[in-house]
Structure 1
């Protein structure tokens, strides 16, 4: 009985582990393709569809695997998964870490990047059919299960059947359950565990790169446990099996030995004839992955830097700009990357003074660089402050701006500020980080500042405050997660919380560089009730050549007529640059035919940009 009991327990445990990995692989590849190619919903839908399609193909072809060597085929499947899953992950990263010739069609790259999903799904499709057939061959009639567990299981089963019977016609099944139902039940339990552990532990705690190696390690361990328990070299502590191919086993059975052991050793789930070479490969892979997981911080940093340094600043010609990642961390909401960019092109540096400067990147978008950090915030704060009165009676809402720099600029005008940002961890670190303190000068201590850690859209839904000025210091529209901050519903909430003469200000992408985004954005703010806009560029002498260059474009939005920037209330910053800020005029928000606005419940993905 002990053999049957441990055999059953081993197969069910392996089912749990491989199902855990299978579901988690699906999420890892979906997230990876989203990071690399953008479009959260699109990538998840396509990846999940491809994965389940491949699972089905693998399951359909599993009947063609030799039924006499089920154990050997299961072992091979796990070893191949342990090898293919990380290799496919690195292939996708590699495709995005090198410059691919423009002659290569985008469709080819798209297809190659999704081949790992198909391969891993196909191999995973073999697992459950093989486990089901092996479970059926055990011949466990339930007597091997402890009596207390059988009793508890029977009571739970009775309760569930009674509940199901309220909606369906049922017939209570007695005796041994089919291998399919048992294996599928454990598969669903393992899948749920994989989803929860991935979302709550692996991804936020380790990140994508270490997670893929954790899952591959589990596949390798599953293969070794299987071959240890069912193979002739078994060192499994609870196994009593005799070697299946040895004469001693036959002699033992002939002289009254354990016939159950002998029969078990000859069953098709035996892994006795597994290739020694494949076993060595499995041991090497498992040991390698164990080392990577043990040093996951180092592996994550080095692989991430390899990818990021090829992607960051890649809009310049080859050899013109080099990026070197200096640090990176992941908060609950964003990936924070510090890097130095160095001009390596020929001739003087036309982009900033000197050869190297430090920059900050949040997710897929550059947040600030040393050469334009001050001018950006001058454009965000000091220019639109010309439209409102300074002093504590003026109320300003800042959405985003977790680096506190905008707050420092607002402090100069003595206004009352409500500050809302979602990433409390980033805000806390920015308070003491020397990179930010050089610009915000401890603005978080401003006595007229009220900071709330919350989602900006939800804050606007819940507050009754009205504001004379709303500053949207939010990340660029590079990811589905940010669609809400570029939706009609969000901008409508901003408009309804403006005072009678209030305005909203946001930075924006150039309509020349991103025409589709611009059309969707303009139609979105128009649908939200903003009827007037004023656009201006902030200019700065970035390369210290005596001439100013365009740094960032901003939009002032209003539901009615507003004064010019160079009116009586113009700030000192605007008055000093009157020749530049005197020309922007208010005009009606345009509407583009055939372009749908972006809504939370009906998103227009044209509003997302690929930077």
Structure 2
């Protein structure tokens, strides 16, 4: 094989690697921005748009790079990418780990958080033009691959061309392919592989933080492979510059330079240091992931309190297929008595970007979700209850004392399995997963209702808040319509909700959505608890009961022991018509209203 063929094969292999990294960076930033700011569709669409815009700008400006220094410019591009991509990742994390003064415009933070996408896209735009020019200089694109791969590609190519000939006017092209065509082909293959490996291996297996360092490591390795293969070692380390060797085309008598450029030894040392550092991070990826995640989480968690009033310390964290599960201790460090819970420290559970459970209000929340609405139905085996969500099994424990029949559906089987044996959760659910009238299904709640023929007297929605558009389905008119179709004649659906005072736009969109699904009556109440042991009860959580018609009151012959104990609080709670807010669009699966999402 001639040197030219080997050189072209090396350049195409590098094309594959850098394309792999470029596409994967796009997904890493999209997911990171989703984690930080919510809105999967919004973040992915904006990130992809910005990335391709920046890619185009970089490609357009690549013609202004010195054509006599193709190799040097390619090396610089890979080193800069290896440095910029992780730095941009850490910048986004840092923006969400510190308290930014309210005087700073949100639009400025939005812009700064997306600058890393622009930088990586811009630098990636240089790669393909530089590689294409280098392959063109070699003039041996058709022989770059092994013979068996060439033969296979030729057979596929002939078949595709025949197919194209049925519609288009085609001319079979034999012989050497242009540098642009082979580089683009390898770029597309690398992009596809990058997308698949990211989605199936890197993100689920390593997580976001190690993945960004794996990709930066590959950029650094690509730069070093390039300089090792094409560099003129005879001049090292005498001169201050690194030069590229010439390529001899054995098939031609002439000699043609691939590139005659220079790279400073300083940049080469930087590349070596970065690559070695990233290799160390990847080798210890679990430790790096844990430390960086905890640094972010401990700064970001509980930041709604005044500075210095509450400190968070992560106890454990992990990622299931569907969510990031974080357990942490929060400690009151403010002046004066702790107004938020008894004592100085308590443990909490956080799923994704929202707090789901704290020791001070775990009981009161589930009393509001279960013990209050059970006053509206008859206890006993004939009463059928559907619980959507509730993978911690605590709601099931509260239902068990009423001896009802329970269908339980939750998407995250990994989380449900973990909470069965975890001591923190066991003290709340008391092995409720063993309840003999319980049927648990691991599935999406919406899909479950689409496929079920059961009717229920009570439906409890123990689901995360509407902080991400992955959850838009569970806040859609279609989902609530399915629930209504599965209710018995006197059935009701219960969910916790955000306060209309704190989240007015969400509340209006949510209420209009429920109303559009056919629910005409609502009953709203708060559950109260003396969570700080000061002798005064505080409002803990707001709940809504929805029904497609008239229903009985909470107090009366069927009231539960909990409602009876707090009768003074609940006797004035009455059913009202579900209001309709003008100018507020319903949230639908096929026409989402993003006002229903809230920013935590």
Normalising to structure 1: TM-score of the pair?
A: 0.95
Q: Where does residue 269 of structure 1 map in the other structure? A: 259
In the alignment, the residues of structure 1 paired with residue 488 and residue 274 of structure 2 have an alpha-carbon distance, to the nearest angstrom, of 64
Q: Where does residue 123 of structure 2 map in the other structure? A: 123
How many residues end up aligned between the 2 structures?
594
Once the two structures are superposed, what CA deviation does each residue of 1:278-299 show, in whole Å capped at 9, x if it has no partner?
A: 1111010000000001111111
Shift of the alpha carbon at 1:134?
0.2
- The gaps in structure 2 that reach 5 residues or longer are 236-241
Q: What is the SS of the residue equivalent to 2:89?
A: helix
Q: Where does residue 158 of structure 1 map in the other structure? A: 158
1:303 to 276, 280, 292: 292
Please tell me whether the aligned partners of residues 531 and 560 of structure 1 are also in contact (alpha carbons under 8 angstroms): yes
Q: Where does residue 488 of structure 1 map in the other structure? A: 477
Q: Where does residue 239 of structure 1 map in the other structure? A: none
In the alignment, the residues of structure 2 paired with residue 560 and residue 319 of structure 1 have an alpha-carbon distance, to the nearest angstrom, of 49
Q: Where does residue 543 of structure 1 map in the other structure? A: 532
Q: Where does residue 8 of structure 2 map in the other structure? A: 8
Q: Where does residue 238 of structure 1 map in the other structure? A: none
Please tell me whether the aligned partners of residues 244 and 260 of structure 2 are also in contact (alpha carbons under 8 angstroms): no
In the alignment, the residues of structure 2 paired with residue 455 and residue 387 of structure 1 have an alpha-carbon distance, to the nearest angstrom, of 27
Once the two structures are superposed, what CA deviation does each residue of 1:260-315 show, in whole Å capped at 9, x if it has no partner?
A: 599998614366x3221111110100000000011111111111111111211111
Matched, 1:423 2:412: yes
2:373 to 370, 384, 396: 384
In the alignment, the residues of structure 1 paired with residue 578 and residue 299 of structure 2 have an alpha-carbon distance, to the nearest angstrom, of 39
In the alignment, the residues of structure 1 paired with residue 489 and residue 86 of structure 2 have an alpha-carbon distance, to the nearest angstrom, of 58
Q: Where does residue 240 of structure 1 map in the other structure? A: none
Shift of the alpha carbon at 1:8?
1.4
Shift of the alpha carbon at 1:391?
0.6
Correspondences of 1:255-334 after superposition (within 5 Å): 260=250, 267-269=257-259, 273-334=262-323
Once the two structures are superposed, what CA deviation does each residue of 1:306-359 show, in whole Å capped at 9, x if it has no partner?
A: 111121111111111111111100000000000111111110001100000000
Please tell me whether the aligned partners of residues 5 and 141 of structure 2 are also in contact (alpha carbons under 8 angstroms): no
Once the two structures are superposed, what CA deviation does each residue of 1:484-507 show, in whole Å capped at 9, x if it has no partner?
A: 000000001011100000000000
Shift of the alpha carbon at 1:44?
1.2
Q: What is the SS of the residue equivalent to 1:171?
A: coil
User: Structure 1 residues 143, 464: CA separation in 2 closer, same or farther (over 3 Å shift)?
Assistant: closer
Please tell me whether the aligned partners of residues 354 and 465 of structure 2 are also in contact (alpha carbons under 8 angstroms): yes
Q: What is the SS of the residue equivalent to 2:440?
A: strand
Which shows bigger deviation, 330-339 or 42-51? 42-51
Shift of the alpha carbon at 1:148?
3.5
Please tell me whether the aligned partners of residues 54 and 119 of structure 2 are also in contact (alpha carbons under 8 angstroms): yes
In the alignment, the residues of structure 2 paired with residue 534 and residue 301 of structure 1 have an alpha-carbon distance, to the nearest angstrom, of 44
2:352 to 355, 363, 368: 363
User: Structure 1 residues 145, 308: CA separation in 2 closer, same or farther (over 3 Å shift)?
Assistant: closer
Please tell me whether the aligned partners of residues 220 and 275 of structure 2 are also in contact (alpha carbons under 8 angstroms): yes
- The gaps in structure 1 that reach 5 residues or longer are 236-242
Shift of the alpha carbon at 1:123?
0.3
Please tell me whether the aligned partners of residues 472 and 506 of structure 1 are also in contact (alpha carbons under 8 angstroms): yes
In the alignment, the residues of structure 1 paired with residue 234 and residue 48 of structure 2 have an alpha-carbon distance, to the nearest angstrom, of 38
Q: What is the SS of the residue equivalent to 1:142?
A: helix
In the alignment, the residues of structure 2 paired with residue 224 and residue 265 of structure 1 have an alpha-carbon distance, to the nearest angstrom, of 25
In the alignment, the residues of structure 1 paired with residue 75 and residue 17 of structure 2 have an alpha-carbon distance, to the nearest angstrom, of 14
Once the two structures are superposed, what CA deviation does each residue of 1:435-470 show, in whole Å capped at 9, x if it has no partner?
A: 000010000000000000000000000000000000
Please tell me whether the aligned partners of residues 69 and 268 of structure 1 are also in contact (alpha carbons under 8 angstroms): no
Once the two structures are superposed, what CA deviation does each residue of 1:70-107 show, in whole Å capped at 9, x if it has no partner?
A: 01100000000000000111111111111111222222
Which shows bigger deviation, 100-109 or 573-582? 100-109
Matched, 1:453 2:442: yes
1:524 to 502, 505, 513: 513
In the alignment, the residues of structure 2 paired with residue 16 and residue 144 of structure 1 have an alpha-carbon distance, to the nearest angstrom, of 14
Q: Where does residue 561 of structure 1 map in the other structure? A: 550
User: Structure 1 residues 133, 264: CA separation in 2 closer, same or farther (over 3 Å shift)?
Assistant: farther
Q: Where does residue 238 of structure 2 map in the other structure? A: none
Alpha-carbon RMSD: 1.9
Matched, 1:187 2:195: no
Q: Where does residue 574 of structure 1 map in the other structure? A: 563
In the alignment, the residues of structure 2 paired with residue 263 and residue 85 of structure 1 have an alpha-carbon distance, to the nearest angstrom, of 44
User: Structure 1 residues 427, 192: CA separation in 2 closer, same or farther (over 3 Å shift)?
Assistant: same
Shift of the alpha carbon at 1:32?
1.0
Once the two structures are superposed, what CA deviation does each residue of 1:122-158 show, in whole Å capped at 9, x if it has no partner?
A: 0000000000000000111635654434333322211
In the alignment, the residues of structure 1 paired with residue 129 and residue 210 of structure 2 have an alpha-carbon distance, to the nearest angstrom, of 29
Please tell me whether the aligned partners of residues 377 and 405 of structure 1 are also in contact (alpha carbons under 8 angstroms): yes
User: Structure 1 residues 504, 146: CA separation in 2 closer, same or farther (over 3 Å shift)?
Assistant: closer
In the alignment, the residues of structure 1 paired with residue 201 and residue 10 of structure 2 have an alpha-carbon distance, to the nearest angstrom, of 25
Q: Where does residue 405 of structure 1 map in the other structure? A: 394
Q: What is the SS of the residue equivalent to 1:212?
A: helix
User: Structure 1 residues 473, 234: CA separation in 2 closer, same or farther (over 3 Å shift)?
Assistant: farther
Please tell me whether the aligned partners of residues 2 and 144 of structure 1 are also in contact (alpha carbons under 8 angstroms): no
In the alignment, the residues of structure 2 paired with residue 361 and residue 233 of structure 1 have an alpha-carbon distance, to the nearest angstrom, of 55
Once the two structures are superposed, what CA deviation does each residue of 1:52-86 show, in whole Å capped at 9, x if it has no partner?
A: 00000000010111111101100000000000000
In the alignment, the residues of structure 1 paired with residue 84 and residue 202 of structure 2 have an alpha-carbon distance, to the nearest angstrom, of 20
Which shows bigger deviation, 259-268 or 313-322? 259-268
